[in-house]
Structure 1
């Protein structure tokens, strides 16, 4: 999959989304219940789709909100928090959700003045209140045409499969039965019902930051900070943080633009608010020398993107390694381990071992870190896709969903404390542990091919070496016993993992080498050959 000619360039007007048409499609178009692509499908992070493709329309939201309302009541929860990001479809979906929840008699807290609310803030609100759950309306960093709907249980984190299956089945049952059983009322009547309550999400979250980040150290350092809100749901939060803690912070792209016309195109030429992509982040990277440190977030602020003078945009795996090492040395997290997804860098394993801690490797998806956080097994959980969270200074749980805000602020704390930006800090890790080379390759795959890859077994790998090194381990299950939805092959100085995408017609090969670029390419080539041999048997 090659690089598009628009990659890294400012989005041209010709590719901007027609917002009026998109919102019209939300209300006018209806799903074909006989088309599987039009049904509700909860992936690793909720249901995502587009109104123009009949996969994110008013009927979908009605059905999902009704399913959540029923589940909420059956679970005995006392209240529900609702947030939304700045995608164009989030606003009408937010309205529909409120209309359904009120009609079902669910005590619902929503942001006053219909402000936008980041995903981690909903998680934080759930955890700081008793017996509550939440909905976040966001497709994360997806293009402007998309919409998304996520449900977080009373543990504050993304719901596991046992819950999402219930919600998905009930929502599709409603769709297939012409929404028979749906309860809904006009928004005006919903407000009169007394079940919808305006809530200030900003103040409690911002005030509480001192318990997870050394905000006083950041303030005293007077570091010049660049905060790219990327038109996302945390715009007002950075303004509040700057004011509350008197930071030397410049905030930009802090106005909602449903077309996201200020963005630079991602590698495929699409507008995508991916703060881990050097192409999408080209605008902020160009400004790196104006600041001591800068950062950005995706649209719902659950992911982080750190831009340093020394390295530009820091690779997410590199920053995870830095954050884990720094927290291990500067917080009292004795006896607690580190959670990482199986496709994250092995540099993390070396860092964790050096700090006398244990690694818990999980399948892809932040939901796998929820219980380990709650059960005080880990102090940090992170994904290679730039999503992470960590415990409060006192060892209490801060959020059980990804929090891009605290990861960005931690980067500033690291610079203020060590006098090294995270890029320079990573260089010290390279000197100690060696320099890994990491890469991901995406390739086209049909439904049958994706199914074959998802069901791979260790015995399907016939070779005993990988890139001229003896294979030490072949994994199809993570440390917690759960299926990884693919396969991982490990040698002394390298590994690859192959797994199908849950949302696109592609499969992904993640690979890493501690022996250099040529060794990495050889690993990737042999992994591709293994995939092709599997496809030949279909």
Structure 2
């Protein structure tokens, strides 16, 4: 039921009003008495949020509705409004036809592992604690959540007078970033700032290809920085003053090196580039690897010696500020770094990169394929890790095959010090995936005897 970042799927088939209703019932039945609810701009979000609120109140929980806001606004709202849980109705960077739900505990941390399992099991069993007629939860609306978030961002930033920034929320919920940067003194231009859950200007996921207009605009007006968000603004990626899209691993290395002190650790997923570990070694820090998914990174970031957590996909976590990805906060911190230390391209030039290749294969049975790959290669290589999918480390590089937790895809990543070797490792991994698909398609009759 849950993937790497909550519940997601196509509206009407995989995610329905009944899904949201039961999630609300399950959260309230698990003892959550006051829940903050927000949604991204997708049209289906209104229906799902209404169903979610109905389930929560039916089982006795009071609800604070924030309306259409970013996911990090919901996370912060758990503390602001004295709640013990939060739910965002969003499919994040997924296509417009999808929607979903992200759950947050009383500390603002994502539901992971046993917490997700408990909600899923309660829904499967139908064991809900419905309230009596006089115990139904109340609903209130908070209209100051965005302004409170902007205030917090301004407090976290540095003066930005003279800095030119272009912000592209991608028709999602991240336009508060522009408001915060403006209040800090930056000269701000926006692209695609009108909320629209059909994401007409570009696909929601902020990639180099999807952010072509941002790259061109930054270069055309000689801006100092470009900022891009996904649909619910938990992600943030960037464009340099030259119009170059910044690879997530390079940005992770830059943020990590800025946040860490000698002896501390940085949390990042198993698909992170070797360049990040190398950048941390330069400042006497280290890297601890997690499963892919910001919830897993955030969980590790709660450990005392972990100063920062991040994912190359654009999720950045400063645990001393908020225990979950906050794209607008990342934008403000990056803008502050540029204002204080100079052009982003120059800062990135100090981060050593290695040839890395990431691609996805569209497969409905992605979990089965990855399980078959794991079974096949486990005895072929000496260093195999199964934190998430199956990763193979060799003397001069590594490759990873894992099932996406948000879409029907198998993700393949390979990296080495040499570009040709990276290609070779990638092709090895893709060949293993192809063999697994053929084996599954053949069925038991087509498999060799043990």
On whether the aligned pair clears a TM of 0.5, the verdict is: yes
Q: Contact (CA 8 Å) 1:389, 1:406: kept in 2 or not?
A: no
Q: Contact (CA 8 Å) 2:5, 2:405: kept in 1 or not?
A: no
Q: How many Å apart are 1:197 and its aligned residue?
A: 4.0
Q: Secondary structure at the match of 1:312?
A: coil
What does residue 451 of structure 1 align with?
368
- Give the Cα–Cα distance (whole angstroms) in 2 for the partners of residues 364 and 193 of structure 1: 36
- 1:382 alignment partner, one of 300, 303, 310: 310
Q: TM-score, normalised by structure 2?
A: 0.88
- 2:11 alignment partner, one of 48, 51, 58: 51
- 1:139 alignment partner, one of 83, 91, 95: 91
Q: Does residue 291 of structure 2 align to residue 363 of structure 1?
A: yes
- Give the Cα–Cα distance (whole angstroms) in 1 for the partners of residues 174 and 376 of structure 2: 47
Q: Does residue 341 of structure 2 align to residue 418 of structure 1?
A: yes
- Give the Cα–Cα distance (whole angstroms) in 1 for the partners of residues 75 and 435 of structure 2: 43
- Give the Cα–Cα distance (whole angstroms) in 2 for the partners of residues 226 and 193 of structure 1: 43
What does residue 288 of structure 1 align with?
218
Q: Does residue 415 of structure 2 align to residue 475 of structure 1?
A: no
- Give the Cα–Cα distance (whole angstroms) in 2 for the partners of residues 172 and 315 of structure 1: 41
What does residue 373 of structure 1 align with?
301
Q: How many Å apart are 1:227 and its aligned residue?
A: 0.9
Q: Contact (CA 8 Å) 1:99, 1:184: kept in 2 or not?
A: no
1:139-182 deviation per Cα after TM superposition (whole angstroms, max 9, x unaligned): 001111111111111231221121112212323444xx9xx976
Q: Contact (CA 8 Å) 1:293, 1:308: kept in 2 or not?
A: yes
* Structure 2 unpaired stretches of 5+: 440-446
Q: Contact (CA 8 Å) 1:336, 1:379: kept in 2 or not?
A: yes
What does residue 165 of structure 2 align with?
225
Give matches, 1:227-246, under 5 Å: 227-235=167-175, 237-246=176-185
What does residue 428 of structure 1 align with?
350
Q: Does residue 157 of structure 2 align to residue 214 of structure 1?
A: yes
Q: 1:132 to 1:182 in 2, by over 3 A?
A: closer
Q: 1:104 to 1:456 in 2, by over 3 A?
A: same
Q: Secondary structure at the match of 1:319?
A: helix
Q: Contact (CA 8 Å) 1:239, 1:251: kept in 2 or not?
A: yes
- Give the Cα–Cα distance (whole angstroms) in 2 for the partners of residues 238 and 450 of structure 1: 37
Q: 1:399 to 1:253 in 2, by over 3 A?
A: same
Q: How many Å apart are 1:345 and its aligned residue?
A: 0.8
- Give the Cα–Cα distance (whole angstroms) in 1 for the partners of residues 191 and 418 of structure 2: 40
Q: TM-score, normalised by structure 1?
A: 0.75
- Give the Cα–Cα distance (whole angstroms) in 1 for the partners of residues 137 and 115 of structure 2: 28
Q: Does residue 208 of structure 2 align to residue 278 of structure 1?
A: yes
Give matches, 1:186-197, under 5 Å: 194-197=138-141
Q: Does residue 279 of structure 2 align to residue 351 of structure 1?
A: yes
Q: Does residue 258 of structure 2 align to residue 298 of structure 1?
A: no
Over aligned residues, Cα RMSD in angstroms? 2.8
1:217-272 deviation per Cα after TM superposition (whole angstroms, max 9, x unaligned): x2x3x21111112111132x235314533331122322222322222xxxxxxxx3
- 2:120 alignment partner, one of 168, 173, 181: 168
Q: Contact (CA 8 Å) 1:442, 1:506: kept in 2 or not?
A: yes
Q: How many Å apart are 1:453 and its aligned residue?
A: 2.2
Q: Does residue 191 of structure 2 align to residue 252 of structure 1?
A: yes
Task: Count residues in correspondence.
Answer: 438
Q: How many Å apart are 1:298 and its aligned residue?
A: 0.3
- Give the Cα–Cα distance (whole angstroms) in 1 for the partners of residues 236 and 38 of structure 2: 19
1:353-394 deviation per Cα after TM superposition (whole angstroms, max 9, x unaligned): 111112111111112233333332311111121111124xxx
Q: Secondary structure at the match of 1:43?
A: coil
* Structure 1 unpaired stretches of 5+: 1-40, 264-271, 392-396, 465-470, 477-482
Q: Contact (CA 8 Å) 1:100, 1:183: kept in 2 or not?
A: no
Q: Contact (CA 8 Å) 1:458, 1:475: kept in 2 or not?
A: no
Q: Does residue 127 of structure 2 align to residue 198 of structure 1?
A: no
- Give the Cα–Cα distance (whole angstroms) in 1 for the partners of residues 117 and 178 of structure 2: 38
Q: Secondary structure at the match of 1:255?
A: coil
- Give the Cα–Cα distance (whole angstroms) in 1 for the partners of residues 8 and 204 of structure 2: 15
- Give the Cα–Cα distance (whole angstroms) in 1 for the partners of residues 295 and 283 of structure 2: 25
- Give the Cα–Cα distance (whole angstroms) in 2 for the partners of residues 98 and 225 of structure 1: 38
What does residue 36 of structure 1 align with?
none
Q: 1:142 to 1:535 in 2, by over 3 A?
A: closer
